[in-house]
Amino acid sequence: MAPTNPTVLTLQKMPYDMLSLIVSKVGATSSVDYVNTILTCKKLNISFDNYFVAKDLDLQALVQRPREANNYKSLMESCLRRNNVDAHYVQGILEYFEGKNIFIGLHHLRVAARRGHKEGRFIYAVLLMSLGIADKGKKALTKLTNEHGLATVECIWGNVRSSLNGIDLQMKKVYHQSVAKMTPGPNCHPPELKTACSACFHQYFLNEFVNLMMGLQPTVEVL
């Protein structure tokens, strides 16, 4: 009896949903790899409008430079419809800081924060503190810091600063008022040490944010 020839399942013969899921996993790891995959095998015909692709597509390039998203409106609209977490962060930054749409911006950043986006969690917490919603903001920042440590949160803050490069930032009166209300207690380390500790890191990051809004450079380091 002649041996049975195994059936070879090519990509094109896979069920469309399965193929979409596979391609979306590629896109979730790297948008560059996703584009290369589509260009290499045009018969796949799985665009960023696809539910799985739009939902999980890695948008780190836009996270680092949100203003570039203005050149990819169709991509952003598709990703936002599918609740892509990076897209919500990028849209939140653009709406709040560039479009001056505070409530819409906070909505998108809140969605990103709730879905675990680290930069989204950080800036949403700091914005809550800067707008006078101190307790809620401090609670969110404390949770992020407990999970990742002060040093990592400082790196996250660096990423957020990079996201804000090139955006015309504006100072608000409420920011100054919030800083005044969150002055560290007398038991905190002397301010001349120019560091932040576990007792005052909320104030530290709020100060750093306000300094950035005023166009000043970072002044202290985290312990």
In degrees to the nearest 10, what's the CA dihedral of 88, 89, 92, 93? -150
Output b/e per residue, 155-186; b: 16+ Cβ within 10 A. ebbeebeebbeeeeeeeeeebeebbeebebee
- Digit-coded pLDDT (tens) for 138-158: 999 999 999 999 889 999 999
Is 12 part of a structural domain of the chain? Answer: no
Query: 111-144 in b/e burial notation, b at 16+ Cβ within 10 A?
Result: bbbeeebbbbbbbbbbbbbbbeebeebbebbeeb
- Flag whether 32 is in a domain: no
Beta carbons of 216 and 152 less than 8 angstroms apart: no
User: Residue 166: pLDDT above 70?
Assistant: yes
The predicted-structure confidence for 67-80, as pLDDT tens digits, reads as follows: 999 998 988 998 89
Per-residue confidence (pLDDT) for residue 182, from 0 to 100: 81
Residue of 15 and 208 predicted with greater confidence = 208
Does the residue 23 lie in any domain?
no
Percentage of the residues of the chain whose pLDDT score is greater than 90: 50
Number of structural domains in the chain: 1
pTM for the structure as a whole: 0.79
Closest CA to 89 of 127, 37, 52, 51: 127
Where in the sequence is the domain holding 69, given as residue range(s)?
59-222
Does 10 reside within a domain? Answer: no
What's residue 100's pLDDT? 84
